[in-house]
Amino acid sequence: MNLQNLVRKNIASLVPYSSARDEFTGEAQVFLDANENPFNEPYNRYPDPLQRKLKQKIAEIKNVTPDKIFLGNGSDEPIDLLIRAFCEPETDNIVTIDPSYGMYQVAANINDVSIRKVPLSANFTLDPMTVLHAVDLHTKLIFLCSPNNPSGNNLSRSAMHHIARHFKGIVVVDEAYIDFSPGNSLLPDLDRHKNLVVLQTFSKAWGMAGIRLGMAFASPEIIGILNKIKYPYNLNILTQEKALEMLENKGQVENWVATLINERNRISAELEKLDQVKTVYPSDANFLLVSVENAGLIYNKLVEKGIIVRDRSKVNLCAGCLRITIGSPEENNLLLEALKNINLA
């Protein structure tokens, strides 16, 4: 893979915006270079454009060097930036698995980049050959998602490796739910595959969907391209501070994850006992894909009881399926009680 040939020409030759904080990064007594207001510390100051302090901390926890980390306004930002950096509108395409996370398609559509969806096999497994067969000369990115949303299962590691080894473009593996599936991250394989991008997020296990913080891990060369085209100050001070605070509470996060995995196993077993439930798919994430009798009706009855799940019955391979997030033990009990009392007759 030659990254300079892969990236769009206008991006390769782009001169990025150079902010005051890019041009002078050290300590000083008086900063009169960014037209900031001298009052209202600390929010009067622009944030660090490269989020060095936060990256240092994340680097320690994830066991990667800071130059392999990009931080964005949710994972949605690197998804969009990757498509913008590598795909020429109206010409290039991306390949994704189906069903999967809807943002790959939306980001491609916004950028006028076509998308080729490869159906997963039985039980939502990944066949690397079908994915590679969907690739043509204009395919720049392949998006995989493991554990996959909405199916909940991990994709096969060897299948993902096979794709990364044989594809000449960039392979993005979205690991938004990886903390619920310990030991399965592709992060340790970044050095092996120079074309691999791993996405993770603070929105799920870390309990911080509201602060909008997503991570992309990749070679320093790929990270450099994302840094070049991002908004200069894409992460605000509040987000960076809150995330640093949360990173000191890693034990808390581990407790939440343990509770949610326990609950997932309990709810899965309880759901299996209900007449309305046909299949509970195995999950490596914090949600369950459940095939039921009359999904639309059950969805509406739950709404009447104030319980909102996601109706995925229109999604490919998910006919009749609801996607149920694992909540607190109390919330999960309310769901089970409500389901037991729904009369389909």
Ligand X SMILES: *Cc1c(COP(=O)(O)O)cnc(C)c1O
Would you tell me which residues interact with ligand X (CB under 6 A)?
A: 74-76, 101, 145, 149, 174, 176, 201, 203-204, 209, 214
Q: Minimum distance between the CB of residue 210 and ligand X, rounded to whole angstroms? A: 10
How many residues are listed for the chain in this entry?
A: 345
How far is the C-alpha of 57 from the C-alpha of 37, rounded, in Å?
Answer: 29
The residue among 7 and 97 lying less far from ligand X, judged by its C-beta, is 97
Tell me how far, at minimum, the Cβ of 12 lies from ligand X, in Å. Answer: 27
Whose Cβ is closer to ligand X: residue 6's or residue 318's?
A: 318
- Alpha helices by DSSP H, listed for 186-317, are 220-229, 237-247, 250-272, 295-304
Minimal distance, residue 149 CB to ligand X, in Å: 4
3-state secondary structure 26-75: CCCCCCCCCCCCCCCCCCCCCCCCCCHHHHHHHHHHHCCCHHHEEEECCC
Closest CB 143 distance from ligand X, rounded Å: 9
Task: Name the CA radius of gyration of the chain, rounded.
Answer: 22
User: Residue 71 Cβ, how far from ligand X at the closest point, in Å?
Assistant: 11
Q: How far is CA 205 from each of CA 176, 179, 258, rounded to the nearest angstrom?
A: 9, 6, 10
Q: How far is the CB of 76 from ligand X (least distance, A)?
A: 4
The smaller minimum CB distance to ligand X, of residues 169 and 214, is found at 214
The amino acid at residue 200 is Q
Cβ closer to ligand X: 149 or 154?
Answer: 149
Nearest to ligand X by Cβ — which residue?
A: 74
For tokens 């619920």, the residue is 180
Measured from the CB atom, the residue of 115 and 145 that comes closer to ligand X is: 145
Nearer to ligand X, 236 or 333 (CB): 236
Q: DSSP 3-state helix, strand, coil percentages of the chain (rounded to 5)?
A: 40, 15, 45
């554990």: which residue's tokens? 147
